[in-house]
Amino acid sequence: MIISVASGKGGTGKTTVSTSMALALNKIKPIEFLDCDVEEPNAHIFLKPSFIATEKVNTPIPLIDNNKCTYCKKCSDICVFNVLAVLEDTVLVFAELCHACGSCWYQCPEKAITQTHKEIGLIESGKSRSMDFIHGKLNIGEAMSPPLIKAVKSKIDPQMTTIIDAPPGTSCPVITSVKDTDFCVLVTEPTPFGLNDLKLSVEMLRQIGIPCGVIINRADIGDDKVLQYCENENIPVLMKIPFDRKIASLYASGIPIVDEMPEYIEKFQNTFFEIERMVRS
Amino acid sequence: MKIAVSAQGRELNSPVNPRFGRCEYFVIYDQQTDSVESIANPGTTGAGGAGIKTAQALANTKVNVVLVGNVGPNAVETLNAAKIDIYSGITGTVQDTLDLFKKGELVKTSQPSVESHFGMK
């Protein structure tokens, strides 16, 4: 079973939820934790893993053979990302725009385009207590995170229960992170911003067919519009976490909630059982 | 010499558009023949790389000089490689801008004036 933890709005408590859920579950079953927020991974601050392995992640980019190129412009015409500029006697490659779709190297009539590789980041893997911990770190200045997220997800062990910490938002990195997961936990807060971005997330998940439930963080601030929305849309509210100074202060010290507030162990375990029931039914 | 101006329309009296990769048209004045043509900017669609596509289109049209408002890093790199001179400081209509250029009042540049995606804001 793979559970992703996502949110439309940033700073709602994704990592608070994902790390504590993973630790709570790890007390009853083997857990693998993946931090797919590769632009700004932070789960390691809470789970404090010791890393055993590091591997570089590359993405293919086009390489032009100037001896074969006839400057016919077929490659720049077919590239929807405008990676290639074909001029009179030179071809410019803007590698940072490349999505590695392969159209140019498959379709070059002169076979003048081959693949070379660009390093975009790395994967570090190790252990946090008895839990497997894997995260991706995108190189600074790199724009394209989905290939790295896919590489992190290639480490998923189907024998284990996997918890994925997704990046915020609803764009390609989030879709790549939550894709093919069995259930997505959406963390939100009961504010107009939280609700607006929750709606975007729900619409995104419905498009790609992933069931979801909501955890409302700082549940006693704001208004009840998030609750109303969930009720109207038949989205289960899995847990409410209060706006509690102790939780904020644990977060600020890099301590998972379940380590200092053991009452949350059972809450997160029960949330998981509820998710498991929904996925299986 | 062919001089292109980023514009909102196809005529000499069309207002200029300060955006390079996302402008609607380029009005191109040919000094040699004293004639005017225009091209629709193929860079306006698509999520990214607009300046690259636009610069390549200008190179295809054998433009020598482009008069712009703002121009981003990828556009500048492509224009420099295509040996198209960039002058910034356009204002008013295409004709106003061409007059300023002829009087030598536009500034030649080979550096980007804005960061990537500026024209999408």
Write down the pLDDT at residue B121.
67
| Cβ–Cβ below 8 Å for A76 and B43 | no
Task: List all residues 6 or more positions away from B99 whose beta carbon is below 8 Å from its beta carbon.
Answer: none
Write down the pLDDT at residue B62.
95
Write down the pLDDT at residue A3.
98
The answer to whether A156 and A162 have CB atoms below 8 angstroms apart is yes
User: From CA A234, how far away is CA A20, in angstroms rounded?
Assistant: 26
CA distance B83 to chain A (A): 10
Report the pLDDT averaged over residues A177-189: 98
| Cβ–Cβ below 8 Å for A81 and B53 | no
Candidates A80, A88, A94; nearest CB to B52:
A94
The answer to whether A160 and A173 have CB atoms below 8 angstroms apart is no
Q: How far apart are the first and last CA of chain B?
A: 33
CA distance A38 to chain B (A): 22
| Interface with chain B: mutation pick from A87, A142, A172, highest number of B CBs within 10 Å | A87
A193-220 in b/e form (b: 16+ CB < 10 A) is ebbebbbebbebbeeeebebbbbbbbbe
CA nearest neighbour of A155 among A60, A53, A59: A53
| Cβ–Cβ below 8 Å for A85 and B43 | no
Name the residue with tokens 């083997």: A30
CA distance A61 to chain B (A): 16
| Cβ–Cβ below 8 Å for A82 and B50 | yes
pLDDT for residue B118 is more than 80: no
CA nearest neighbour of B48 among B116, B102, B112: B116
Task: Write down the pTM of the prediction.
Answer: 0.81
Write down the pLDDT at residue B45.
79
Q: What is the mean pLDDT of chain A?
A: 96
pLDDT in tens, B69-101: 999 999 999 999 999 999 988 989 999 999 999
| Cβ–Cβ below 8 Å for B53 and A88 | no
Candidates B46, B48, B81; nearest CB to A87:
B81
| Chain B residues within 8 Å of chain A (Cβ atoms) | 43, 46-50, 52-53, 55-56, 59-60, 74, 77-78, 81-82
Percent of residues, chain A, with pLDDT higher than 70: 100
Q: What is the mean pLDDT of chain B?
A: 92
pLDDT-derived band of residue B48, with 50, 70 and 90 as boundaries? Answer: confident
User: From CA A112, how far away is CA A90, in angstroms rounded?
Assistant: 13
Q: Chains A and B: how many Cβ contacts under 8 Å?
A: 48
| Cβ–Cβ below 8 Å for B77 and A88 | no
Bridge partner list, A163: A3, A33
- The secondary structure of residue B21, as a DSSP letter, is T
CA nearest neighbour of A63 among A111, A109, A97: A111
| Interface with chain A: mutation pick from B52, B54, B60, highest number of A CBs within 10 Å | B52
Q: Which uninterrupted H or E stretch holds A22?
A: helix A14-26
DSSP character string of A135-177: EEEEPTT----HHHHHHHHTT--TTSEEEEEPPSSSSHHHHHH
Residues in chain B with CB shorter than 8 Å from the CB of A76 are: 53, 56
Report the pLDDT averaged over residues A206-218: 97
Report the pLDDT averaged over residues A91-113: 94
- Reading the block at residue A74, the tokens are 């077929």
Write down the pLDDT at residue A149.
97
pLDDT for residue B112 is more than 80: yes
DSSP character string of A215-229: EEESTTSS-SHHHHH
Report the pLDDT averaged over residues A35-54: 98
Q: How far is CA A73 from CA A70, A82, A124, A265, B50, in A?
A: 8, 12, 40, 60, 16
User: From CA A47, how far away is CA A255, in angstroms rounded?
Assistant: 8
State the ipTM, two decimals: 0.87
Name the residue with tokens 């005529």: B11
pLDDT in tens, A236-267: 999 999 999 999 999 999 999 999 999 999 99
User: From CA A273, how far away is CA A29, in angstroms rounded?
Assistant: 12
